[in-house]
Structure formats: structure tokens, C-alpha cells
Structure 1
Amino acid sequence: MPTPIAVKRVIDYNARVRVKADKSGVETANVKMSMNPFCEIAVEEALRLKGKKLAEEVVAVSLGPKACQDQIRTAMAMGADRGIHVLTDTELQPLAVAKLLAKIAERETPDMFLLGKQAIDDDCNQTGQMLAALLSWPQATFASKVEMEAGNKRAVVTREVDGGLETLRLRLPAVVTTDLRLNEPRYATLPNIMKAKKKPIDQLTPEELGVDVAPRLQTVKVEEPPKRKGGIIVKSVEELVDKLRNEAKVL
């Protein structure tokens, strides 16, 4: 069975994010782009499952403009076997992404669909949950450990919650979203980067999959957070309390 992983193209986490002059969004022109770090963790976990012979094939799936093929190639350079690219220039929101991935799941019939728990550009943390709902599959979010039981009929997932760690046993097929402490993604070696150029990428469109990807939400305005004012040094506890009460008005 194939194991698909969703990989998203985002602004590189080391790049400085700038808001557009018209405040309609963030500037992406001439900005370094890369694979979402949580998606890298999902790719690594799928490759580890394949290394343990718990997965037969790793499929990198990306949705968006033609440039998204760069992130698919990155996943294939890490070790993914093939890619699927849903080509669209429409701004994709979580529900549209989940619907497209659900169609991919129906075509690929996987035992497990792996996603990063969220993307670092919008921080929505919605797509995995929506995908599980659309497919009526069990889900485990924020996974910090993934194991398979004998016969590969169930997955045992340790997930991070506010109170500590929670262990879930899921009947497959299932949706799993990955957290930071699940693994450390590998670096792509030069030979694998060269091999990735020859691996196949199937190209589809939302229309071919029968999915309406028109945005349901409208972004009204995007602004940078206000700059923090410089701190001051107080000379006594009494002065601190006075400023908290009369200036900050938090007491």
C-alpha cells in the first residue's frame, strides 16, 4: 500500500516575512521558499516506516502552483518514490486542501495518510482533522511516536497533549499529523537529489478531481504586530507597583 504525505510550499522559516504594501497578504516575490518543517517530519516518518517494511511506497503530494514541484522533488530526494501535484493558482484554504487530499486518498487507497500538524505560514492546524472527517477515518494529531501492531492492521500513536502524553490505538486506514518531537528529518544527499529528477510526478487539477476550491474565507487585512516599546528600570518595588497600577492598569 502507498503512504501519501502532504507537503506544503511555505516561506522558509529563516526568511524575513514582509507584509505587502496594500496589506492584502505577505510578500512572496523574491522570497526563499521551502517545504513546511512539519511536512518534512511527516516525510521522514513515512520513510522510516518504509525502512521497517511497514509501508510499500511513499508518495509526496503537493497542491498549488507549478513551483510546488520543487517541494515534491525535495521529498523525493529524501527518499519518496513518486509525487502527485494538483496544479492550481487559486489560494487554497484548509477545507479545499482536505477535499483534494480526500480525493487523492480515494485514488491511492492507503493504510495511512501523514500530514504535518500545521503549516508555519497560516498556523491553521485544520487540514488533518478535516481530512479524517471527510474520509470517516480515525485520526491521531500531534503525533510524537508512531508504531504499527502485528499484521499492520492497527497503528499505536503517542500524541502530545496539555496534560502530558496520550496513547491511541487506531484501526487502519487512518490520518496521522506529526509533531516536532516525532523525528529529525534526514538531509538529502547529492546522489539522491540527482535521482529525484528522474522520479515521476503525476499532475492533476481540482477540476479533474471534481473539487471546488473557491475560497470560503476572505482576508480583510494583514498587518505586522506593533513594535514593542523599550523597557525601563524601576528603583523600588513601590515604583513598580505604582506603574503597574496607574500606567499599565493591570492591578
Structure 2
Amino acid sequence: MTLNILVPVKRVVDANVRVRVAANGSIDTAGLKMSLNPFDECAIEKALQLRESGAASKVTVVTCGTHASQDVLRTALAMGADDAVLIDTATATSTLDSLAVARLLDAHMATRAYGLVLCGKQAIDGDIGGVAAMLAALLDWPQALNAGALSADGTGWSVICGDDTGTATWRLEGPAVISADLRLADPRRVTLPSIVKAKQKPLAIVDAATLAIDLTPRSHIVKLRDPPVRPPGIKVADSAALIAALIERRVFDQSGVPA
């Protein structure tokens, strides 16, 4: 099957690193370990599985950022992606919002033929999760968000999407944009030989200025602060005391469940 999959990825602070908000209301990433966004890793793995099953022929990864973002592209190449593209945004990186990223991806896709966009449902730094839906709107493609399962279905895709209220099975016809939940696939381990081979794979660098996209942010962070300190728990003697404590704190009222 001749079908190219595009997997947009993002370079974020490693999920195992604890970040703190500085006095000026910003997060200083200097000296922190940076890694591939975990949701994007799942998207890459599923794209590779689709290629290995014959449902696709090529997997391309792309990111918007500075030259420092090449490290996550090399990680994706070591996982098994065929080639990579860095859309170099230079100093605009710190102000890129979801719409700017979606517009850059849309402009890039006008230069190459892709049959599926498979990305992480959100980045763990901003937790906005808007790129997939915005890109689908720009492309006028069908979309499925928070996918927990994905398979080729004739000329389209069968996708199971889920949230806190349940799951839904969708069939998307033709080219589509799908965002991956962590349940979609378990990322494979990157081995030393694959890292060496990744250095030989093509990595194209595209100057964002050549795409003629307005990167002026439409959204702004009003305030950034650490979450409140969680109060200590309490111990109860028995189940009756537990129920009494829950009723006293009106837990059921707050969750919308009648006591």
C-alpha cells in the first residue's frame, strides 16, 4: 500500500523531571533533560506498526522548533521512522501556539503527499491538545481525537476513541487526522545500533520563513504557578468512619453523585 504517514512531534521537558515555576512566573528549562513527548512516542509506534503491517509505506516525523529539536527527530528515526523534517522557527519558538503549529504543518503538507496524520493528543508541557483538531480543520479532513485503538479499514480507518464518559468507534474515510492516547501503542525501546543507523537517515531542515505563515500567537499565558500543596490525608477506624468523613466533606455532592 502506497501511503505516507506524517507524525508531528514535540520536544518537551522529560516526563520524569520535576519542574518549578520561577519567581518571574516562567519555567526555566536550562539544564533540564529534554525528551520526545510521550503521546508522540505512542503515535510514532502506531505509525510504525501500520507500516509493518502493510497499511502504509512510509513514516515521516516533523517538528517545529530550533536546531536543538533535532535530537527528538533522531530519536524518532532510531525508533524506525523513515525520514524527518525540522521546520526551523528560530526565535519564534517561544511564542508558537497551537494554531501557529497547525498552520506550519498545513503549509508543509502542501509540499508533500500524506494520507494520514497521526500525532499525540497533547504535549505534556502545555496540555492544550489543539493542534490535531486545528490541522484537520485547515486540511478539511475528518478527525478522531484521543484514539485508543486504530486499524486500517478498506480505504479508511477504524478508530476507537475514549474519554471519561466512555468510548466511541468511528470510521474515517480517506485521509484523516488522528491524535493518539497513551493506550494506542506501547513505544518500542531504542537500541544502540538503531541510534547509529538513525544518523544516516535523511533529516531535512525547512526555514519557517519560506512557508510565509503568520506566527503571531492568538493565545497567551496569563499566569503560571505551581499547583497548591495537597493537604495530608487522614486515617479512619472503620468503614462507618470513612462514610461519615466523605459525607462531612460533601465528596458525593462535588462529584455530582447523590449521597
Q: Which residue of 1 aligns with 2:81?
A: 80
Q: Which residue of 2 aligns with 1:161?
A: 163
Matched, 1:68 2:69: yes
Q: Distance in 2 between matches of 1:212 and 1:241?
A: 52
Kept in 2, the 8 Å contact 1:206–1:213? The answer is no
Structure 1 residues 71-80 or 179-188, which shifts more? 179-188
Q: Distance in 1 between matches of 2:247 and 2:120?
A: 47
With normalisation by structure 1, the TM-score equals 0.89
Q: C-alpha displacement at 1:162, in angstroms?
A: 3.6
With normalisation by structure 2, the TM-score equals 0.87
Instruction: Specify which of 145, 148, 173 is matched with residue 175 of structure 2.
Output: 173
Structure 1 residues 202-211 or 78-87, which shifts more? 202-211
Amino acid at match of 2:223: K
Q: C-alpha displacement at 1:243, in angstroms?
A: 7.6
CA RMSD of aligned residues (A): 2.3
Kept in 2, the 8 Å contact 1:138–1:174? The answer is yes
Kept in 2, the 8 Å contact 1:77–1:193? The answer is yes
SS of 1:180's equivalent in the other structure is coil
Q: Which residue of 2 aligns with 1:218?
A: 220
Amino acid at match of 1:191: P
SS of 1:108's equivalent in the other structure is coil
Q: Which residue of 2 aligns with 1:140?
A: 144
Q: Distance in 2 between matches of 1:149 and 1:112?
A: 13
Matched, 1:113 2:114: no
Judging changes above 3 Å, is the alpha-carbon distance between structure 1 residues 179 and 240 closer, same or farther for their aligned structure 2 residues?
A: closer
Q: C-alpha displacement at 1:71, in angstroms?
A: 0.4
Q: C-alpha displacement at 1:234, in angstroms?
A: 7.8
SS of 2:158's equivalent in the other structure is strand
Structure 1: runs of 5+ lacking an equivalent: 246-251
Q: Which residue of 2 aligns with 1:186?
A: 188
Q: C-alpha displacement at 1:55, in angstroms?
A: 1.1
Q: C-alpha displacement at 1:38, in angstroms?
A: 0.3
Amino acid at match of 1:217: S
Kept in 2, the 8 Å contact 1:144–1:182? The answer is yes
Judging changes above 3 Å, is the alpha-carbon distance between structure 1 residues 155 and 30 closer, same or farther for their aligned structure 2 residues?
A: same
Structure 2: runs of 5+ lacking an equivalent: 251-259
Q: Distance in 2 between matches of 1:240 and 1:123?
A: 33
Kept in 2, the 8 Å contact 1:2–1:108? The answer is no
Give the percent of matched residue pairs that are identical in Structure 1 and Structure 2: 43
SS of 1:107's equivalent in the other structure is coil
Q: Distance in 2 between matches of 1:139 and 1:189?
A: 33
Q: Distance in 2 between matches of 1:200 and 1:63?
A: 17
Q: Distance in 1 between matches of 2:165 and 2:226?
A: 33
